[in-house]
Amino acid sequence: MSRSTTTVAPHPATGSVTLLIGTRKGAFILRGDRARRTWKLSHPHFLGQIVHHLISDPRDPRTMLMAARTGHLGPTIFRSTDQGRTWTEAKTPPAFPKAPEGEKGRVVDHVFWLTPGHASEPNAWYAGTSPQGLFRSDDGGVTWEPFSYINDDPQYREWMGTVQDGTPDGPKLHSIIVDPRDPAHLYFAMSGGGVHESLDGGKTFTTLVGGLDVVEGFDPANIAVHDPHCVRLCPGNPDRLYQQNHCGIYRLDRPSNQWVRIGNNMPKRIGDIGFPMVLHPRDPDTAWVFPMDGSGVWPRVSPGGKPAVYKTSNAGKTWARLSKDFPKAQAWWTVKRQAMTADAHEPVGLYFGTTSGEVWASRTGGVRWTCLASHLPEIYSVEAAEL
């Protein structure tokens, strides 16, 4: 595989930043000024709905898509074309095909992940669901159809496993990535079920798990036991990917198919377990993670109750702890895989939402931090948009 190394975000952004926040009890919009100093929190949108992902369309920033459900009601997608002032529900949300008579069909529990399509396909969107399914819309999110063959392929179904094989709130298809140089070059990941790549627009996918560790005692050749938590492609070099996995932090430089465990360079007392993976918008050597306690029974909280971001500026050779303004003790929260992100400014702004409902921001690439909001519901996703 050989592609140009054209970058997609070569120039720092200068506009105001808006944070789109999905929570267990609704969505919130946190609007900042151009200096990223003052912020105004909206009232909840769709209060009470479980919002796994809320994201704006970089091809048309007026448009936002929201993946929602409630405890009672089934999954759907809401769409706004006026930056969140009004919302319209998708006519046909992602759904698996009706099974033939006598067979048991699958049911989408929730839409977990939304990814805008390639810049050359202005109405294309992808969605990943729980249980694992891959869907696409070609009309801006109004109607959705199963995408590719993987939802019903026997091999993929074996790798997806059953509902019981996934994360505590269901197995998930996530990290849908479109190569900015080629709309036919796609990646996605499954928890569990590994990382997958297509070079032909989804007609075929191949596994991409070389070099990844799995839980002790399992065979890495079994794709089903691979658990990527979050995979990201470098905007500054689309031939480089980073991954936060259930079993460590990795980097992949294409055309190699072998992931390298850069998390081995993290401090041993912290480890390299976590959920989010955040990349610099221009520098492919710079990335941030938010480690959690993956020891023993997997508490999934900040190690020792002391939250910290870790940053690498050399593609994972070394890591620096960034925790200057965080609580020094007794802070037993963590950050989910979609709940940490970066803007495109210089210095880069970093943002994350916690399981305890706080939103933290840094205008200095993680050196100093400010708590922008607290007392929100459990935060599932944070996306930064320049609106």
Partner 1 sequence: MTVHIPSALRSYTGRESEVEAEGRTLGEVLSALDRRYPGLRFRIITEQDTIRAHIRIFVNDTQEQTLEAPLRPDDQIHIICALSGG
Residues lying near partner 1 in the complex (CB under 8 A) are found at: 70-74, 76, 89-91, 93, 95-99, 104-108
Distance in Å, CB of 254 to partner 1, minimum: 37
Nearer to partner 1, 23 or 244 (CB): 23
Distance in Å, CB of 112 to partner 1, minimum: 17
Nearer to partner 1, 15 or 170 (CB): 170
Nearer to partner 1, 135 or 275 (CB): 135
Distance in Å, CB of 357 to partner 1, minimum: 15
Distance CA 96, CA 86 (A): 28
Nearer to partner 1, 12 or 97 (CB): 97
Nearer to partner 1, 108 or 114 (CB): 108
Distance in Å, CB of 22 to partner 1, minimum: 18
Nearer to partner 1, 88 or 204 (CB): 88
Distance in Å, CB of 333 to partner 1, minimum: 18
Distance in Å, CB of 256 to partner 1, minimum: 40
